[in-house]
Amino acid sequence: MYKMIVAREVRGVWNALNAGDCEPVLKGFAREFRYENVGADHALGGTFTTREEMAQHFALLFRVLPGVQFTIRDILVSGWPGNTTVVVDVAIAATLPDGTAYENDLVQQLTLRWGKVTSVRALIDNVRARAALERLPAGVLDAAPVAAA
């Protein structure tokens, strides 16, 4: 039952992101957390530890990939409310400003404690992400990664 509730809440957060609303994600973080885009040495990479950094990251994401859609393939939940692990398998699809399609696979590993997210490790095909960023027109990317680890 608890795992079903967690999975439903995770879906709700991603549905909000699909509508361009990152508030449910931000509210889901614990006071102390760490969000790491693993190995992502490009503009959509970075490691974040505050809600402000996360908000900036989402602002950049929505600017770079307007209308981006996240399709949840699966959510796996393990553990108990005091220490829950969630793995979210997500397909990313967007149309770049040059009209070309961008698709990628994202796997997020989350740790939750008493309903709040304390850590996220996001794993993605970074070669494909970097190739998409290189197709962007000049000026779209005027921000480097928000924070360094």
One DSSP character per residue, 73-106 reads EEEEEEEETTEEEEEEEEEEEEE-TTS-EEEEEE
Are the CB atoms for 111 and 84 separated by under 8 Å?
Answer: yes
**Residue 103 lies near other proteins (rule: CB under 8 A):** no
Among 41, 66, 135, 149, binds other proteins (CB under 8 A): 41
Span of 9-17, 22-30, 92-100, 103-111 interacting with other proteins by CB under 8 A: 103-111
Among 10, 25, 124, 133, binds other proteins (CB under 8 A): 124
Least distance from other proteins to the Cβ atom of residue 15, Å: 21
- The residue (of 16 and 93) whose beta carbon lies closer to other proteins is 93
Span of 20-28, 51-59, 62-70, 121-129 interacting with other proteins by CB under 8 A: 121-129
CB atoms within 10 A of CB 104: 17
φ, ψ at 33 (rounded to 5°): -155, 170
**Residue 130 lies near other proteins (rule: CB under 8 A):** yes
Here the tokens at position 7 are 């999975």
Count residues binding other proteins (CB under 8 A).
Answer: 24
Least distance from other proteins to the Cβ atom of residue 18, Å: 21
Among 78, 83, 100, 144, binds other proteins (CB under 8 A): 78
Give the list of residues 6+ apart from residue 102 with CB closer than 8 angstroms, or none.
Answer: 65, 92, 93, 94, 95, 96, 128, 132
Are the CB atoms for 96 and 136 separated by under 8 Å?
Answer: yes
* Binding site residues, other proteins, CB under 8 A: 3, 38-41, 74, 76-78, 85, 87, 89, 105-107, 109, 121, 123-128, 130
